[in-house]
Chain A
């Protein structure tokens, strides 16, 4: 695209309008009243404006449009005759004729001689002035005593009035002259061209219209009529804001403002001078000249009277309609009739009234008024294309015209050439007569055409020469040349004779043609005449035969008859045509030829426009010109390309050349996705470093689909701007009137305008297919229509494609449906409302992006390093906390991504490898998905940090703390009872491996199982194999037969020690003695976070457990030879697993510390150990403990440093609950928290889909599996226990692990059973529901337990007492059981209410569970808020399918195999032998255990084992677990340490039994044992 010809064009319809007005005005409406007409052209005179006036090619109207005030026209008449004639001849200047008649517009002023341009004029003028003034002085002297004429005081009025009052304001030329005459140094208007006027003054010759002395005198002394000054003032003021023309004129008129005063001053000055003369010559006193008089006063009345005679003041009142319309005509409103009437321009009502009144007064013809009684007016006359010239000198303007004219000429030449050619062809062809006739007529027409063209050609040539002359004179006058433009008229010498011959031949040919033509015509007419005459004759004959008196003779000479008058005849006698006169024709032809053709012998002029001329260098130019050039240099232009009103690209900013050309030469590729509706170029101009201004918009047509790249021609689109630019140098500016004439006449107002040459086309794709928009039957039709509807641009492209939006917009913007402009749009909206267009959801900004890219997207995405970096940044689990990403791609192994990719790939594929059971695999997958979705929901909340996370601030001790400290000093010291002190909490950031330690303080244990004496008499162990302790203990009473029956009290029963294993790190305590050992030891275990990520979320998701195993240390004497016994002791230490406590790390993390006594999980069968203790000794010691079963250990576990647990996010979830209910829950919770902040109160929970649900909806009687009910039909207690066991067999998976730190999600019972995983709440809910179904009174009990922390238990009411059920273990406790892990009770939840514990104590031991007492239990639903009958979220019924026994058996085998392999792996340095016999024995035994739930089988089992494995020392135990995954099983086996035995001849036995319960709940039994053959 290139902007060419950035030149000023002066197309302004206003100018033409202005010129037109005086035509309509009466002679009285003189130039003074012009101002009030300004509003008129905008209103009405557009009628007169041919539509072509708008679209006049700029080049034609370029130069000489007069800024046609009537006054200028006068001066034009006198001076510019030569200039204007060519303008009239210019056939293209459509607008020119408009202004022509105005020149002869009448004026009321006396004829004013036009301004002189010469020094001579000035001189002689001055001379004459002086004479006249002299004369006037003498006259004045004589009249001195008389009244001073009235205009005098008026001059002292405000300058603006004066200016109007005297007619000077309308005579710029004259004014300038006068001011210069009187005072050259007088500062006058700043209109810039005056500079040049002054310069030219000395040079220009005397113009012909030089004023005579008389005229000059008149000019200065004439007292102009104080004509309609009132009427002109007001409209002028009102029209100040009118068209730009006005402003120009306003400036014009302001120029002479000081003039009136100047003149008076001048006169006074002259008077003074005269006075001095008189003083010198006649010696007269000043008082003779000066007289003091009272101020002259003319009464207002008189003045008004006078004015009334002279002035016509149009009324401002509304003109009644009947006056404006012809008589008896009702106003007719076209709009009401449904015709479209464009919106009129806003004109104040008063202005309209004034106008109407004036029109009525001036032209009673009413032709200004339409049918509706309003002034005729077109819609908005404002030109849609703004225009203004840039910084230009006049030369450029001329040059532009010249150039265009030249082009035109060339074109015409061609046309002539073309038109001549066909003229010759027919002559060579002589076929048929008809053809010849056709050709002849063709020739005739062509000839006519040629004549016209030739005439035009000549005119153009004349114009060119004239313009060039003008330009030359201007260059001369300016004394510099701006453009390299040069017109060379090449004379082509012609052979005079040949030329004359040719000329003559052509004329002759034409004449002969014409003659022929005429002859034909004549013949034709003769024929007509003859036939007509025949008829007439026949008729006459008939007449004659009737009368029978006429004679013959007449028939021969019809001509004679013609002469004979037949007054009575009806048919008119035909007149014979006159024969053609050759001479006349020849005369005509010759005349025409002389006019339009080159005379023979006259040299042929070929104008050649070249750029060979030299431009005056800067240093030779005047300063103003240099300034202008510099200004031009500062200016730069760029274009924006707007597609569908969106800017898509822009060109570079290019400086404006000295010839006002800017070459861009850029191609913009647009890949469009929307329908092309508009393509606009915005031309921006930048001046220096200041901002850019939008010069103009150029609307380019969307090319036809056939126009593709390469085929599109370069087109020129014109633009112009309406900006006003006034420059302080030689430049023309824009919208500022100026004149080419030295005297400032013939004013022009040019606007910036120019041309953009561009080409728009569709691209061609790679395969040669043009990339044109597809022909959519819907859109293609309207597109052209839409393009025209300009209003569309206001709603943007997207609106266009959406019909509904378009229709809406049309309705909103109140489109006039009758407006023809909107017709296509309206039709479109009406017709196509069903069209659904595709609106792409993206918008491509820059296509060139591709070209500038370093690499392609694919390559960027292929980079492993970037991928790794991004994945790490996105905290993808596999890459979270990935350290040190290699610098080079080649250093990154492809397998890094394998896991991640596999996970992505397998997201929906169920992987059964890790999960032996397919159902579990599905569940695990599902859980994973739920987890991901939930985590995504809370992603933002996760990154929400609390102030405490970021800032750890040591509290400055205040006075109260100091006081307390001081007080403590005085406190009694109790060193034997140390207290735990609170520690500083540490945020999880900035931690690394080894910083965190797990502190396990093992204090003591109770009721550790004791070794059983070997009872069998028949299996007296050999001495060497007896236990060391046993031996030692038994040594005083060696081989006492009674030691099995009554143990001596002093005997060492067991030597337990505690081993804590966490993350495969193992620590153990020292060995203590006895069943109630006290260690009081602190074990320190390092903590390692997964992937070294110590963030809160990571820590929360640590799934590791702390295993606290209690072992019995057994010493065996391995001395082989008894003889050495005296000299050495050889013992082997064996340890026997007694039980374990398993505490999840997450519990420790959230609880910060765990302090309490826990029940040790002991295997149901512990061979060689007995829980029966020496009842005598223990009972007396601690009666309470005797009630309990099992062993207990007291622990204190914490972390060092203390970590701040992550806050679980309490987000506001959306809910389907009633709003009132939710408010009530909030209120209830707030009240409860106020009273007992530490007690757990739960009213709403979040279900698995993330919605808030009222908690009681979870409780509903649900049927347990029928299988369980059938087991003990008559024993409800046993059934309840079985049910509890069933529930406890469902694997435990804390929410905090699966949804790290986010929230507690509650799944319904069926979901829970499907997932087969859940935490305390789900277990408790299910158990509670089963109990309710069994007819028990059961509640969900929320409270704190050890070690779980806040948890849920189930409370049931039996006949007389309450039972507390731990749903996760299946155990139950009485209310007053000391070893009940539940330590505090917060609230009870039933199926229809919630009760909050408001008793003083919260320990179940000390509270009353009678919920009917409102003083003890605060209920949620009460009388004020009755239970609304909430429906349950639980299913109606649980459906249990029987678990596939075969699948269970298969799983059993696989687990056994895997475990065996694991044990072998754990013993890498030893041979692991499996005792098959023992294994099969154990395998038989495990189902028994399941059946009896691990009770009361020990003795039988032992007996059987002893019987079968008599030769072996056997140590082992069964483990019982719910089945979820394989990993916990392996961990559990590992933690028992069975594999640690490194006796050379050890053998192992491992048996697995899986008992399937309904709904795929599996109970897993693992029996591990080690056997050592006794020798």
Chain B
């Protein structure tokens, strides 16, 4: 019965070697990925096809707003920060704390030919205390073999995650070799309601 408003914006990104960046984002409330190893997903996908996972995220209901989106492509003219100022406005109702919303971000860069390639994956939790929060979300991207790195340097492209789950699940990360991307800056305002009614102090 408690409510969470997430109001804010994805300000922009710094520290990326690429210019012309844009960002895909999404807010997840199910912690499926955290708990299940990736193999599990593969097995399920292979054998059962689409499957309803009744996870802890079922506690969260999106009352209004859009869960995911994509910013425009910003090419910084001055300075190295790409500004998106992409608004985020979500209103959740929850019956529990499990699966607290988390934000996952994918930063992409667009080159002069209009091709998009991955610049970084990032993930951060939506803050749990009310008020305005300035968040910096560092990002990473899979590195790939030297061959792939070379190819990336010259013709673009490069390894991407097959399943976005790996962004926020810790299960299969050990298999990844990653390189650090830049940082995505967020400004999120949190409005919590009725948490105190259930003994959650904030």
Q: Which residues of chain A have a CB within 8 Å of any CB of chain B?
A: 645-647, 691, 795-796, 798-799, 802, 805, 839, 841-846, 849, 852-857, 859-860, 863, 866, 869-870, 872-873
Contact = CB atoms under 8 A, between A and B. Distances in A.
Contacts of A845: 32, 35-36, 53-56
Contacts of B40: 645-647, 796
A12 to B, nearest CB: 27
A853 B59 contact: yes
A802 B98 contact: no
Contacts of A852: 96-98
Contacts of A647: 35-37, 40
A1191 to B, nearest CB: 53
A857 B56 CA distance: 13
B151 interface: no
B185 to A, nearest CB: 23
20 contacts: A646-B36, A691-B174, A796-B40, A796-B43, A798-B47, A799-B47, A805-B47, A849-B59, A849-B98, A852-B96, A853-B95, A854-B2, A854-B197, A856-B95, A860-B95, A869-B64, A870-B61, A870-B62, A873-B63, A873-B91
A554 to B, nearest CB: 93
A859 B1 contact: yes
B61 A860 contact: yes
B58 interface: yes
B198 interface: yes
B51 interface: yes
A870 B51 CA distance: 24
Specify the main secondary structure of chain B where it touches its partner. mixed
Contacts of A842: 51-54
B116 interface: no
Given A796-B43, A796-B44, A870-B63, 7 more contacts: A796-B40, A843-B52, A845-B32, A849-B98, A853-B95, A854-B94, A856-B95
B153 interface: no
Interface residues of B, number: 34
Contacts of B63: 866, 869-870, 873
A860 B94 CA distance: 8
Contacts of A841: 48, 51-52
Given A860-B61, A873-B63, A873-B65, A846 B43 contact: no
Contacts of A859: 1, 95
Contacts of B65: 873
B43 A866 contact: no
A863 B56 contact: no
B93 interface: yes
B179 to A, nearest CB: 19
A1165 B52 CA distance: 68
Contacts of B97: 852
Given A647-B40, A846-B55, A849-B56, A854 B91 contact: no
A842 B58 CA distance: 13
* 9 nearest A-B pairs in the assembled complex, by CB-CB distance: A873-B64, A796-B43, A869-B63, A854-B198, A798-B47, A845-B55, A853-B96, A842-B52, A853-B95
B95 A857 contact: yes
A855 B198 CA distance: 9
Interface string B59-91: 101111100000000000000000000000001
B64 A798 contact: no
Nearest to A856: B95
A859 to B, nearest CB: 7
Contact of A869 (B35, B91, B95): B91
Interface string B94-112: 1111100000000000000
A841 B52 CA distance: 6
Contacts of A863: 1, 93
Interface string B19-49: 0000000000000100111001001100110
Contact of B95 (A839, A854, A870, A872): A854
A328 B26 CA distance: 77
A866 B91 CA distance: 10
Contacts of A645: 40, 43
Contacts of B52: 841-843
A1284 to B, nearest CB: 51
Contacts of B54: 842-845
B98 A846 contact: yes
B98 A870 contact: no
A1017 to B, nearest CB: 76
B97 to A, nearest CB: 7
A798 B48 CA distance: 7
A872 B64 contact: yes
Nearest to B52: A842
B166 to A, nearest CB: 15
B6 to A, nearest CB: 14
A859 B95 CA distance: 9
A854 B63 CA distance: 17
Contacts of B174: 691
Contacts of A870: 61-64
A855 B95 contact: yes
A127 B48 CA distance: 81
A796 B54 CA distance: 19
A1280 to B, nearest CB: 56
Contacts of B37: 647
A236 to B, nearest CB: 34
B1 A855 contact: yes
A860 B93 contact: yes
Contacts of B53: 842-843, 845
Contact of A839 (B48, B61, B98): B48
Nearest to B57: A845
Nearest to B37: A647
A799 B47 CA distance: 7
